[in-house]
Structure 1
Amino acid sequence: MTWSRALKETARSGLAIEKAKLTPVIAVRGAAGVAIVLGLCLWRGDPALAVSSAFGAFASGLVTFQRSMRPRPVLALAVAAALAVSTFLGYLVAAHLPAFVLLIAGWTLLAGMAWAVGPVSGLAGTLTVAIMLVTVTLPTSVLGALQHAALIFCGGLVQAALIVVFPVRPWGVQRDALADALAAEADYARRLRYDPVAPFDPAPLMDARLASAVTARQARRRPVQLHGPRGLAERVRPVLASLADPVVGAPTQGPERDRVRDLLQAAGTVLDAVAHAVRHAGPVRLAPEAMATLEVPASGPMLHGAARRSAYRLISLLADAVELTDEPVRATRPATGAERGQGGREEGGQGGREVGSHLLRPSVPRLVPVALRALRREARWSSHIFRHALRVSAVAVCGYLLGTALPFGHGYWAPLTSVMVMRPDFGQTYSRGVARFSGTLVGVAISGGVMALAHPGPAVCAGLAVVFVFLMYLLMRTGVSVTSACVAGYVIFLLGIAGEGWTQTVAERVVLTLLGGLLAMLSYALFPAWETPRLRERLAEWLEANGRYALAVLDRYARPAERRPRQVREALLDARAARAAWEESEARAEKEPVRHRGLSRTSATAAGAALATMGRVTMIMEAHLPDNDAEPSPGAAAFAAELRPSLERAAHAVRERDRLDWSALRAVWERWDAESESQGVALRAAELLLDALDDLAEAVEGSAATDTEGTIPPAQ
């Protein structure tokens, strides 16, 4: 797309206000942490210490609202410790401009690289830079710097203590992730009734798998409901797809298809009931109609072959899902005609291991080598994380020097805005820049008006600051513009405690916020890390991962006696990770003002759909893996032997923009089809796999046409 359209879209995205579920109790708890440390420091009579400690409590509370599977107290303490260290180092060199500029450059570079570890780590690193820029302007000595750092850590300690003393929905994040995964599969089952090849986004299963990783201590305290349903959700999905598929499952028309539709509707009802029970820690309530549908009809089984096996497997898995909630099963009243066929739709999570086991999450000290490996992996010129770190470091230094040179005072607001706005991708950086400036205008207008009309004292300013931080915590998920308005008011009232003039504060805040936002946007235009040119690489990686998954499944058909379930499982997880990387890159590329460079938007969508179909077909084959004592399949062995080199050539062709050729693989399948005595699941699925690969070739070859939309990006 063009620059004008890209700017318009990002501005619209930044100013959008989303409907979000509010959590007032959690917001009150976070604001109470800020109020406690602020009140104690004011009671001692030191406004500077009150401001410093309040910033620490604010940042520690902010990170606990992020979507992280780690315990909230651990997050608060970890961020508080990092804030204390950064603030103390800033105080030591704040009086010497060259040394402080070097500290800003180095610390911001590390904070930018923290995005390699994860989004929560990236946000935590950003907060350490922001708080350091603000608090070091408060006058103090070296001993006072230690006191400031200690109070900042105490702010995090108070937030962690409040979370422990006043827990709100313990294990709530894990429950929601698992419930979202089950609800997504319920919606998938209902969509399969009308579209037998309906797509399924594995992101909810991926999130559920992340949520299931626990420390050794957590594993002993985890609720029973969180133990088993996730593993079952992993096994239900391929069974649903296999049952509904018109080639492998029941015919598209007739009594068997009607029976399949009834089973899918009942499966959706049961999965929704289990999801509701997991989310709210209650019993499973099953409708009598669903329970009756899942019983074998009195006239005998209506399905045959692979469809019958899938149906029996589905009924068994649904029964296990209900039983593993470890709650009494109670039947609800019979559904009315208006209620039949209705069900919720939610999205969330990720899958994992067999029932009864758990994924081990490393402790915080053991995360250090993991983080170092992530940093080393991204420390290369082509990495968008590394380029973001260089970009944000340079902008922070330039913003601080410009803000210091301008005759406003409080020059740190320019780099503060830049650091808080900048993200590793174009879309978020520009949308957040627009949102932050517009939100700041609203926030300073409201807070400045209150200061001008009421002239509040320190105690009233403290109370108003707590109100604004409560609103920020409460409305955090509604949009960046809303939270920016709340943060702007919070900062102005907080600095009002230390005696800052409100007229000067408001003017500085507006001008320097605009400067910081413009620097952030300009930096991405001059030193970009475009995702569009990487789309072919991401597509090739997804093709390779899908190929390894297909080869692992075909190997089971070729040598059923050599049972290696972990090989198939790990290949599936790799394929999901590659798909997630592709979808993330595609979403970023859609917002960039960059020419497609050989893979147009339309072709990218078609290629993604073809590879998603390839994964679905492989999953159907996995649902019908042969027993250990089954006869080996020479056809599957020959097909896998040819698939491996064909995939290698295809991945190279995708990267080099060459033509994809699957003729050799199709010839092998034709021999398999001619020599086979029966149309087994593997043979029919292999044909569908070939069709998906042909669709991929057509999509990639169709991208040769030049996309006239967009402009050529700067050299990278």
Structure 2
Amino acid sequence: MRWWSSLIRIGRDGLRIQRAFAAPSSIARAVLAVLLATVLGLLLDDPVAGAMASVGAFICGVGTLVSPLRHPVVNAFGMAAAFSTTAVLGALVHGTTWAFLLLLGVAAFATGLWRTLGVASGIRGCLAVIGLMITADLAPGVHAGLVMAGWIAVGTGLVVVVQLLPPYGPRFAAQRRALGALYRSLAEASVAADPAALGVTAPFTAARQTLDLLPQFSRPAAAALFGLLGEAERIRRALHTVRLTEPAAGNQEALAAAAQVLGTVSRTVASGRGHRSADAAGSLLESWAAALPVRGPRDLAARLRQAEQLARSSTDDRLGDVLEPHAEVPGLYAGTPSVARTARRIRAQLRPQSPIFRHAVRLAVAVVVAEVIGRSIGGWGGLGISAHGFWVALTTMLVLFPEYGHTVARAWGRAAGAVLGGVLAWALSLPHWSPGGLAALSVVLATASFVTLRTGQLMLNLWLTTWIVFLIHHVGGLPGPTAWARAADTVVGAALAVLVFLVWPTWSARRVPGLLAEWLRVQDRLLPELLTGYADVGAADRAAVDALRTRSRQLRGHLTAAVEQSHAEPAEHRCPWSGAQLEQIRTQVSTVAGCATLLGENLPRTPQDTVPELTELVDPLHEHLTALARAAAGAETVAPGALRRAFDSFTARSGLPAGTTDGSGSVTAGRAVALSTATVDAVEALTATIAARHRPRRHAAA
């Protein structure tokens, strides 16, 4: 019953139509490239040239619209080179079935590994492999296949050319979009009712990744953007301090004013044009910080002023190289070149325990099997294209994802869209079309595909199936009923993708214990390091703390994603905790991370702020977190309360006060004890949830 309800729920998600569109200028460039390719075919009076150039322009255009992180010209050139290369390889192995299947498997495996870099990169890899299938399956011979590959390369070249046309937009557009989204998320979190909203890591990860892609020679001009990333982290920490530790009087109005300032920064950075926040918001923040002479409000007001200044500086590229953002974003401004970093990330997945590696192997096997099945049933009783299985194979490749929910949702949406697209393609094949009418309608259908690219698989595949079937069938002179064969191939490919996933699954719920254990091992190093920092000014290793915070944020992002994806999976027994417990774990992990943030932000800055007694907690905390990590991985059990008893004994023995801060805002023993108490409470709450495993058997960590 749970399997059936899961399929219904995910299927409903797969059929949902979203209101998400690419930038109009990007859509216009992609449409222009397809239009130029179509016109070229008309001028040459060569239907094959026009069709293949249109296919090259279309696939490459889709690659430029899928979450662009690099410069549009770089995206287009990379997509054009990859798609053209695979088309040539497909032509060279045409007629040699074993060589084609071997090459297809290798390419699919590489595409699965490329998924390490993100969903968009994985989809671009799938699009590139389509070129291999087209020329290997559709070409009548090697020579004709090379001719087709040449025209495909011409179409992809047109996409690169149109990226050079105005309007150009602000420099570092992808980085600006990511930073704008980051500051917008901070604005929303600052006024959210749940303090855990400040623990969301995805916007920070996306902003770091996009800035990380910038080549070394262009980073000085983007210095203000790097500085904004550093300020965003400091603003998040200041908001944590205000939300969790400062008096509530006047906080709501001040946080609303902070949200206005953050929204202004977001608009300025994203657009590259200056925007000003209301003067009343700035005045309110200043008066609020002056009325509460403690660190949280003062830090927040100062950081917001700095962010506004950096946002204004980012609108003028000439001011970028006078800043020193490497102090704000350690290790990123002068980081490792992106090629070496990419190779390192992919190399780290080359192990059998990695979900990405398992997905890559599964994808390679599934695509080869789908190609064989497609070739076996390609005729469909005379309605299809006999001995060609690329449609089944490409559907399987585009549907099969590392996650169960995404795979099933895409299967539902893609199959339904293909059926509707087959109906529309069949209807359009009934009348006789002149060459000019055929060209005009193909451009219109391609435009509809570009516009609906991000609205969901249903709408996208409806127009995509209609366009490609209409184009290929008319060029090849195939009868109208063959449109139904393409819909049937899509249904078979989607069903095969789901079946292959179920045969060799990568359940997100099973990843949760391992990710949680790894995150706890990072806390086992971070929290004792922070407590040791209260022994003396400068006792904490700031570089080590920043590195551990970065690793903690990455693991927390992976853990959050795994918990979210596990809710779509049909059986709770795949994880030692129920769905409600997983949500508790996610919230409690964010709470512990927030406590670590506060401990780090309030490290002593003067000898009067030191609390050397806190070092007594290092060993008990280390022992507890070590045991808790093993318990999360299923290696042993852990009983709640041990850390609380050790802490109570410590506070009774030390005689430290339980106050907060003095009038000057310095960190006192009372504040340090309050932060330590909150940390112990958060760890004990997480311990209780981990200990409440709803199944007694042991679960090995991945």
Shorter-chain TM-score category?
0.7 to 0.9
SS in 2 for 1:627: coil
Matches of 1:604 and 1:479 in 2, distance apart?
Answer: 28
Deviation at 1:356, TM superposition (A): 11
Match of 1:230 in 2: 229
CA offsets, 1:595-626, max 9 Å, x none? 24422112111122111111111111222222
CA offsets, 1:96-130, max 9 Å, x none? 22322222222222222221343233212211222
Task: Give matches, 1:196-275, under 5 Å.
Answer: 200-213=199-212, 214-222=214-222, 226-245=225-244, 248-250=245-247, 257-275=248-266
Matched, 1:478 2:455: yes
Matched, 1:552 2:532: no
61-70 or 681-690, larger mean C-alpha shift:
61-70
Matches of 2:124 and 2:490 in 1, distance apart?
Answer: 21
Correspondence for 1:386 among 357, 363, 381 = 357
Match of 2:427 in 1: 449
**CA 1:666–1:237 in structure 2 vs 1: closer, same or farther (change >3 Å)?**
farther
Amino acid across the alignment from 2:691: E
Indicate if the aligned counterparts of 2:524 and 2:626 stay in contact, CA closer than 8 A. Answer: no
Matches of 1:356 and 1:397 in 2, distance apart?
Answer: 45
Indicate if the aligned counterparts of 1:27 and 1:473 stay in contact, CA closer than 8 A. Answer: yes
Matches of 1:120 and 1:262 in 2, distance apart?
Answer: 40
Amino acid across the alignment from 2:253: D
**CA 1:402–1:209 in structure 2 vs 1: closer, same or farther (change >3 Å)?**
closer
SS in 1 for 2:487: helix
Matches of 1:101 and 1:428 in 2, distance apart?
Answer: 26
Matches of 1:105 and 1:576 in 2, distance apart?
Answer: 35
SS in 2 for 1:583: helix
Match of 1:507 in 2: 484
Matched, 1:323 2:318: no
Matches of 2:226 and 2:373 in 1, distance apart?
Answer: 55
Matched, 1:667 2:668: no
SS in 1 for 2:430: helix
Matches of 1:113 and 1:295 in 2, distance apart?
Answer: 50
Indicate if the aligned counterparts of 2:51 and 2:475 stay in contact, CA closer than 8 A. Answer: yes
SS in 2 for 1:326: helix
Deviation at 1:577, TM superposition (A): 0.6
Aligned-pair RMSD on alpha carbons?
Answer: 2.9
Deviation at 1:439, TM superposition (A): 0.6
Amino acid across the alignment from 2:296: S
Correspondence for 2:678 among 671, 688, 692 = 688
Identity of aligned residues (%): 25
Matches of 1:631 and 1:291 in 2, distance apart?
Answer: 31
Correspondence for 2:557 among 572, 580, 584 = 580
Deviation at 1:288, TM superposition (A): 3.1
**CA 1:512–1:140 in structure 2 vs 1: closer, same or farther (change >3 Å)?**
closer
Deviation at 1:629, TM superposition (A): 5.0
Deviation at 1:632, TM superposition (A): 4.4
Indicate if the aligned counterparts of 1:415 and 1:516 stay in contact, CA closer than 8 A. Answer: yes
Amino acid across the alignment from 1:378: Q
Indicate if the aligned counterparts of 1:618 and 1:689 stay in contact, CA closer than 8 A. Answer: yes
**CA 1:286–1:370 in structure 2 vs 1: closer, same or farther (change >3 Å)?**
closer
**CA 1:501–1:244 in structure 2 vs 1: closer, same or farther (change >3 Å)?**
same
Indicate if the aligned counterparts of 2:105 and 2:365 stay in contact, CA closer than 8 A. Answer: yes
Matched, 1:531 2:508: yes
Amino acid across the alignment from 1:249: E
Matched, 1:642 2:631: no
Deviation at 1:574, TM superposition (A): 0.9
Match of 1:433 in 2: 411
**CA 1:197–1:92 in structure 2 vs 1: closer, same or farther (change >3 Å)?**
closer
Match of 1:293 in 2: 284
Indicate if the aligned counterparts of 2:21 and 2:453 stay in contact, CA closer than 8 A. Answer: no
Deviation at 1:373, TM superposition (A): 3.6
Deviation at 1:358, TM superposition (A): 5.8
SS in 2 for 1:285: coil
Indicate if the aligned counterparts of 1:669 and 1:687 stay in contact, CA closer than 8 A. Answer: no
Indicate if the aligned counterparts of 1:414 and 1:515 stay in contact, CA closer than 8 A. Answer: yes
Match of 1:700 in 2: 690
Matches of 2:298 and 2:308 in 1, distance apart?
Answer: 16
Indicate if the aligned counterparts of 1:54 and 1:152 stay in contact, CA closer than 8 A. Answer: yes
Matches of 1:563 and 1:589 in 2, distance apart?
Answer: 37
124-133 or 578-587, larger mean C-alpha shift:
124-133
Indicate if the aligned counterparts of 2:21 and 2:452 stay in contact, CA closer than 8 A. Answer: no
Match of 2:175 in 1: 174
Match of 2:152 in 1: 152
Amino acid across the alignment from 1:8: I
508-517 or 119-128, larger mean C-alpha shift:
119-128
Deviation at 1:303, TM superposition (A): 2.8
Indicate if the aligned counterparts of 1:448 and 1:502 stay in contact, CA closer than 8 A. Answer: no
Correspondence for 2:390 among 412, 427, 437 = 412
Matches of 2:439 and 2:201 in 1, distance apart?
Answer: 46
Matches of 1:463 and 1:121 in 2, distance apart?
Answer: 31
User: Is there any run of 5+ residues in structure 1 with no aligned partner, and where?
Assistant: 251-256, 330-350, 708-712
**CA 1:561–1:23 in structure 2 vs 1: closer, same or farther (change >3 Å)?**
closer
Amino acid across the alignment from 1:186: A
Match of 2:58 in 1: 58
Match of 2:663 in 1: none
Matches of 1:374 and 1:229 in 2, distance apart?
Answer: 26
Match of 2:275 in 1: 284
Matches of 1:618 and 1:524 in 2, distance apart?
Answer: 39
SS in 1 for 2:219: helix
Matches of 2:126 and 2:259 in 1, distance apart?
Answer: 42
Task: Give matches, 1:39-118, under 5 Å.
Answer: 39-118=39-118
Matched, 1:354 2:331: no
**CA 1:280–1:672 in structure 2 vs 1: closer, same or farther (change >3 Å)?**
same
Match of 1:339 in 2: none
Deviation at 1:445, TM superposition (A): 1.6
Q: TM-score, with normalisation over the residues of structure 1?
A: 0.86
Q: TM-score, with normalisation over the residues of structure 2?
A: 0.88
SS in 2 for 1:229: helix
Matches of 1:204 and 1:103 in 2, distance apart?
Answer: 37
User: Is there any run of 5+ residues in structure 2 with no aligned partner, and where?
Assistant: 316-324, 659-668
CA offsets, 1:132-172, max 9 Å, x none? 21233343654554443343333333212212223453333
Match of 1:5 in 2: 5
Amino acid across the alignment from 1:419: M
Matches of 2:199 and 2:453 in 1, distance apart?
Answer: 29
Matches of 2:643 and 2:652 in 1, distance apart?
Answer: 14
Deviation at 1:487, TM superposition (A): 0.9
Task: Give matches, 1:103-142, under 5 Å.
Answer: 103-139=103-139, 142=142
Amino acid across the alignment from 1:391: R
Deviation at 1:516, TM superposition (A): 1.3
SS in 1 for 2:164: helix
Deviation at 1:180, TM superposition (A): 2.0
Deviation at 1:509, TM superposition (A): 0.6
Match of 2:347 in 1: 376
CA offsets, 1:289-344, max 9 Å, x none? 223212347xx95435xxx2222222222222222223799xxxxxxxxxxxxxxx
Deviation at 1:696, TM superposition (A): 0.9
Matches of 1:617 and 1:321 in 2, distance apart?
Answer: 24
Deviation at 1:431, TM superposition (A): 1.0
Correspondence for 2:587 among 609, 624, 646 = 609
**CA 1:603–1:218 in structure 2 vs 1: closer, same or farther (change >3 Å)?**
same
Matches of 2:75 and 2:370 in 1, distance apart?
Answer: 29
Matches of 1:10 and 1:360 in 2, distance apart?
Answer: 43
Task: Give the total of aligned pairs.
Answer: 668
